[in-house]
Amino acid sequence: MELLYGPIRDYAWGSRTAIAELQGRPTPSAGPEAELWLGAHPGAPATVRRGGAAVSLVDLLAAEPGHWLGGRLVERFGPRLPFLLKVLAADAPLSLQAHPDAEQARAGYAADVARPEGRRNYADPHHKPELLVALSPFDALCGFRDPLESADVLAAFGVPALEPVVGALRGGPAGLREAVRLLLSWPAAERAGLVSAVMAADVDGPDAALARDLAARYPADPGVLVALLLNHVRLAPGEAIWMPAGNLHAYLRGTGVEIMAASDNVLRGGLTPKRVDVDELLRVLRFEVLDDPVVAPLPVAPGVVRWPAPVDDFALYGVRVADPGTPVRLAVPGPRVVLCGSGRLSVDDGTGPLTLAAGQAAIGPADAGPLLLAGAGEAYVATVALT
């Protein structure tokens, strides 16, 4: 295996402590550190060291696709790493967003070629399902909750202008599309007044608290109210949320390990100064009730769990090595990226051991042997789910 050096993205919502603490650096960091990218996405590829120089993982895989990716993966996905592993550290809410399925991404990307750059929605022709595992208590919005419950929440504010939205929600799941359309299509000149009226209502409870927190950041954004249509989830460390295509979601606060298909296709629905294409978002969204967004880890071997996700682009395993004298063995297909989440671990795929401290990562090729992890600590192993 080889040490993998991932770039850190400095988005404004990022934490100035979480990633630095994970990697054992001084805190606070000089600026926000939102995401540590450990993959071959062209937007910010990780690197390995060769002859004292940094070599992009994109170039490394392109030079030896059979060695690093394996023939079956190249046949299925082409000569590219189909997943991206991240550490995500949110100190403020991210935008409401959803991602297209594979067919929508291909069609949207092809159609965008004829549009001006500022009006394009699709960065590539790939889907972007996501799975996030909490490293700390993690707050998120994920999937539509029962619209009758959402109707009661909005009605409690007593704002007459919201009555058409409440009426649509009273129609159950069939009314979700119309409720979201009404909110996101609200006349721009009236948005600040609508949000202010909701905030001025004498209403208590977690939904009102969430709306006030979001409105303080986005006082004229109807996404504040769309957020109240979603499940508000608090993950304990080790729990996960799965975000398939068409799932409207937003991360609010916390640190987690995220794995996704290697795409940059994001359709925003609010809580952002960036462009929102309401029509395209409504076309992509799945207006289905998500009863339970939380994904629990499944034991697969002593010291090893997996968070299930119904895609073959990626698979994510958690490994806990408790006894320095008892290594944990993990046989996985395809290339693998290993992130040390805590402690200090020796990782060997048959090519010689490599020691990882917390926050360090390594990559191994598809044609290497099973992983052997020793020492004391926890690791996250990303690979593909080809059988």
Give catalytic residues, as residue numbers. Answer: 268
* Token pair listed for 64: 């030896």
Could you give the angle at the alpha carbon of 274 between the alpha carbons of 268 and 280, nearest 5°? 35
3-state secondary structure the chain: CEEEECCEECCCCEECCHHHHHCCCCCCCCCCECEEEEECCCCCCCEEEECCEEEEHHHHHHHCHHHHCCHHHHHHHCCCCCEEEEEEEECCCCCEEECCCHHHHHHHHHHHCCCCHHHCCCCCCCCCCEEEEECCCEEEEEEECCHHHHHHHHHCCCCHHHHHHHHHHHCHHHHHHHHHHHHHCCCHHHHHHHHHHHHHCCCCCHHHHHHHHHHHHCCCCCHHHHHHHEEEEEECCCCEEEECCCCCEEEEEEEEEEEEECCCCCEEEECCCCCCCHHHHHHHCCCCECCCCEECCEEEECCEEECCCCCCCCEEEEEEECCCCCCEEECCCCCEEEEEEEEEEEEECCCCCEEEECCCEEEECCCCCCEEEEEEEEEEEEECCCC
Diameter of the chain measured on Cα atoms: 68
Q: Is the N-terminal amide bond of 28 cis, ω within 30° of 0? A: yes
Residues 6+ apart with CB under 8 A from 137: 234, 235, 236, 237, 254
* Token pair listed for 115: 């549009």
CA distance 252 to 210: 10
273 with 91: CB under 8 angstroms?
no
